[in-house]
Amino acid sequence: ITGTAERLSIRSVGIRDLSGTYHIVPFSSVDTVSNYMREYGNHVGEYGIAYRENIDDAIAQLQLAFEDLKASEEHGHK
């Protein structure tokens, strides 16, 4: 399961995955934990672009959108 830990107790952890599903995982069944840090993450995305569109223009627009995200208060570098 990949997601955000929302609740910890002595016996279990509550994890919200990317689709919004909330999982309760007992620690007795956890054998591996990975911690992702904000400054070392990356984004992998799949984008549908119509055949009639210019791929270079689409890439440029995606790069502009990511630059806007990085500059924003909520999602940018803190």
Across the 78 residues of the chain, what is the mean pLDDT of every consecutive 10-residue run? 91 94 94 77 83 95 91 76
* Angstrom distance (rounded) from CA 77 to CA 2: 22
CA pseudo-torsion sign 28, 21, 69, 44: positive
Q: What is the pTM of this model?
A: 0.47
Whole-angstrom distance, CA of residue 51 vs CA of residue 77 = 35
Distance CA(24)–CA(17), nearest Å, equals: 11
| Residue boundaries of the structural domains of the chain | 3-31+42-71
Please say whether the dihedral angle defined by the alpha carbons of residues 38, 42, 48 and 49, taken in this order, is positive or negative.
Answer: positive
